Amino acid sequence: MPSLGADMEAGTVLEWRVQPGDTVHRGDIVAVVDTEKSTIEVEVFEDGVVEELLAAPGDELPVGAPLARIAAAPAAPAPDRRPARAPAGTPRRKHAEAKPARTGTPRRTRPAARRSPAEAARSRAAPRAPRPPGAAPVRASPLARRRAAERHVDLADIAGSGPGGAVVAADLDRAPSDGERAPGTPSEAAEPGTPAAADEEREDRQAAMRHAIGALMARSAREIPHYHLATTIDLSAALTWLTAANERRSVAERLLPGALLLKATARAAIEVPAVNGFWVDDAFQAAPAVHLGVAVALRGGGLIAPALHDADRLTLDELMSALRDLVGRARAGRLRSSEMSDPTLTVTNLGEQGVEEVHGVIYAPQVALVGFGRVTDQPWASQGMLGVRPTVRATLAADHRVSDGLVGARFLNALDHLLQSPEDL
Amino acid sequence: MTTTYREAMRAALRDALVRDDRVFLMGEDVGRYGGCFAVSLGLLDEFGPERVRDTPLSESGFVGAGIGAALGGMRPIVEVMTVNFSMLALDQIVNNAATLLHMSGGQFNVPVVIRMTTGAGRQLAAQHSHSLEAWYAHVPGIRVVAPATLDDARGMLWTAVCDPDPVIVFEHGSLYNTSGELADDAGPTDLDRAAIRRPGTDLTLIAYGGTLGKALDAAEALTADGIDAEVVDLRTLRPLDTATFVESVTRTHRAVVVDEGWRTGSLSAEISAQITENAFYDLDAPVARVCSVEVPMPYARHLEEAALPQVPDIVAAAKELGG
Rounded to 5 degrees, φ, ψ at A207 are -65, -40
Task: List, for chain A, all residue ranges whose pLDDT scores fall below the cut of 50.
Answer: 75-133, 177-193
| Chain B contact present for A218, CB below 8 A | no
Cα A257 to the chain's mean position, in Å? 21
**Secondary structure (DSSP) of B99-138:** THHHHTTTS-----EEEEEE--SSS--TTT----HHHHHT
Question: Could you tell me which residues of chain B have a Cβ less than 8 Å from any Cβ in chain A?
Answer: 253, 280-286, 320-323
The domain ranges of chain B are: 2-181, 195-320
Q: With beta carbons under 8 A apart, name residues in chain A contacting B253.
A: 141, 143, 169
B323 closest CB neighbour out of A142, A146, A170: A170
| Phi (first) and psi of residue A296, to 5 degrees | -120, 120
pLDDT digits (tens, 9 = 90+) for A347-368: 998 888 888 889 889 998 899 9
For residue B253, the distance in angstroms to the closest alpha carbon of chain A comes to 8
Q: Read off φ and ψ for residue B196, nearest 5 degrees.
A: -90, 110
CB–CB contact B285 A146 (8 Å): no
Look at B281 and A146 and tell me if their CB atoms are within 8 Å.
yes
Give the gap in angstroms from C-alpha B53 to the nearest C-alpha of chain A.
55
Closest CA to B287 of B300, B295, B277: B277
- Distances B198 to B9, B81, B194, B218, B291 between C-alpha atoms, Å: 23, 31, 12, 11, 21
Comparing CB atoms, the residue among B281, B282, B286 nearest residue A163 is B286
Question: Between chain A and chain B, how many beta carbons pairs sit less than 8 Å apart?
Answer: 39
Dist. CA B28–CA B79, nearest whole Å: 7
Which of chain A's residues have a Cβ under 8 Å away from the Cβ of B319? Answer: none
Per the CB < 8 Å rule, is A142 touching B282?
yes
Rounded distance between C-alpha atoms, residue B207 and residue A17, angstroms: 49
Question: Are B76 and B113 contacting, i.e. CB atoms less than 8 angstroms apart?
Answer: yes
B2-181 classified as CATH 3.40.50.970: yes
Partner-chain contact B322 A161, CB within 8 Å: yes
Subunit contact A142:B283, Cβ cutoff 8 A: yes
**Interface touch B253/A169, C-beta < 8 Å:** yes
pLDDT for B27: 97
A141 touches chain B (CB under 8 A): yes
A179: left (phi over 0), alpha (psi -120 to 50) or beta: alpha
DSSP-derived secondary structure letter, B149: S
pLDDT given for residue A81 in this prediction: 42
CB contact under 8 A, A143 and B322: no
Give the H/E segment covering residue A405. Answer: helix A405-420
B230 CB-near residues (< 8 Å, 6+ apart)? B196, B198, B199, B200, B201, B203, B204, B205, B219, B248, B251, B252
**Predicted pLDDT at A197:** 58
Domain boundaries, chain A: 10-98, 118-125+138-180+190-223, 226-424
Tens-binned pLDDT, residue by residue, of chain B (323 aa): 999 999 999 999 999 999 999 999 999 999 999 999 999 999 999 999 999 999 999 999 999 999 999 999 999 999 999 999 999 999 999 999 999 999 999 999 999 999 999 999 989 999 999 999 999 999 999 999 999 999 999 999 999 999 999 999 999 999 999 999 999 999 999 999 999 999 999 999 999 999 999 999 999 999 999 999 999 999 999 999 999 999 999 999 999 999 999 999 999 999 999 999 999 999 999 999 999 999 999 999 999 999 999 999 999 999 998 75
> CATH assignment of B195-320, given 3.30.70.100, 3.40.50.920, 3.40.190.10, 3.40.50.150?
3.40.50.920
- The Cα A65–Cα B135 span in angstroms is 69
Please name the member of A141, A161, A170 whose beta carbon is closest to the beta carbon of B283: A141
Q: With b meaning 16 or more CB within 10 Å and e meaning fewer, what string describes A250-282?
A: eeeeebebbbbbbbbbbbbbebbbbbbbbbbee
A166–B285: do the CB atoms touch at under 8 Å? yes
Q: What is the pLDDT of residue A404?
A: 92
Q: Are A262 and A308 in contact (CB under 8 A)?
A: yes
CB contact under 8 A, B253 and A143: yes
Q: Is the peptide bond before A192 cis (omega within 30 degrees of 0)?
A: no
CA–CA min distance A158, chain B (Å) = 15
Residues in chain A with CB shorter than 8 Å from the CB of B282 are 142-143, 146
Predicted confidence at residue A200, as pLDDT, reads 64
Å between B208 CA and nearest CA of chain A = 26
* A162–B321 C-beta distance less than 8 A: yes
For B20, half-sphere exposure in the C-beta direction (CA atoms, 13 angstrom radius) is 18
Contact A235, A391 (CB under 8 A): yes
Domains A10-98 and A226-424 share a fold: no
> In A, which residues are within 8 Å of B226 by CB distance?
none
Report yes or no: A103 at the B interface, CB cutoff 8 Å.
no
Annotated active-site residue B128? The verdict is yes
> Do B2-181 and B195-320 show the same overall fold?
yes
Global pTM? Answer: 0.53
Q: In what order do the strands lie in the sheet with B255-262?
A: B195-198, B229-233, B203-207, B255-262, B288-292
CA B271 – CA B252 distance, rounded (Å) = 16
Position A194 scores a pLDDT of 53
The amino acid at residue B71 is: L
CA angle A99-A102-A106, nearest 5°?
Answer: 155
Closest-approach residue (CA) in chain A for B249: A143
**What fold does the segment set A10-98 form as a domain?**
OB fold (Dihydrolipoamide Acetyltransferase, E2P) (2.40.50)
CA distance B174 to A278: 84
Q: Indicate which of B282, B284, B289, B321 best probes the interface with A, i.e. most A CBs within 10 Å of its own CB.
A: B284
Q: For residue B323, which residues of chain A lie inside 8 Å, CB to CB?
A: 162, 168-170
Would you give the end-to-end CA distance of chain A in angstroms? 38
Interchain contact, B281 vs A143, CB within 8 Å: yes
Element (H, E) at B288: strand B288-292
CB atoms within 10 A of CB A423: 9
| Cross-strand pairs, B2 | B181
Catalytic pick from B28, B59, B260, B304?
Answer: B59
Strand pairing report for B255-262 and B203-207: parallel
Strand partners, B80: B116
Task: Give the chain B residue nearest A169 (alpha carbons).
Answer: B284
Chain B CB contacts of A168 under 8 Å are 284-285, 322-323
3-class secondary-structure state, position B277: helix
CB-closest option in A142, A166, A168 to B281: A142
Closest chain B C-alpha to A311 CA, distance in angstroms? 36
Q: Does A161 touch chain B (CB under 8 A)?
A: yes
Closest Cα in chain B, distance from residue A37 (Å): 30
Catalytic residue check, B28: no
CA distance B12 to chain A (A): 45
Inter-chain residue contact A163 with B280, CB threshold 8 Å: no
Contact with chain B for residue A21, Cβ under 8 A: no
Selection from A52, A53, A30 nearest residue A40 by Cα: A30
What Rg, from alpha-carbon coordinates, does chain B have? Answer: 19
Q: What is the dotted CATH code of the domain comprising A226-424?
A: 3.30.559.10
Name the residue in chain B with its Cα closest to that of A170.
B323
Q: To probe the interface with B, which of A155, A168, A171, A174 has the most B CB atoms within 10 Å? A: A168
In Å, the largest CA–CA distance within chain B is 59
Q: CA–CA separation, B47 vs A204, rounded Å?
A: 84
C-alpha radius of gyration, chain A, whole number: 24
**CA atoms within 13 A of residue B97's CA, in its CB half-sphere:** 32
Shortest alpha-carbon distance between residue A358 and chain B (Å)? 39
A142 close contact with B: CB closer than 8 A: yes
- Kind of pairing between the strands at A23-24 and A48-53: antiparallel
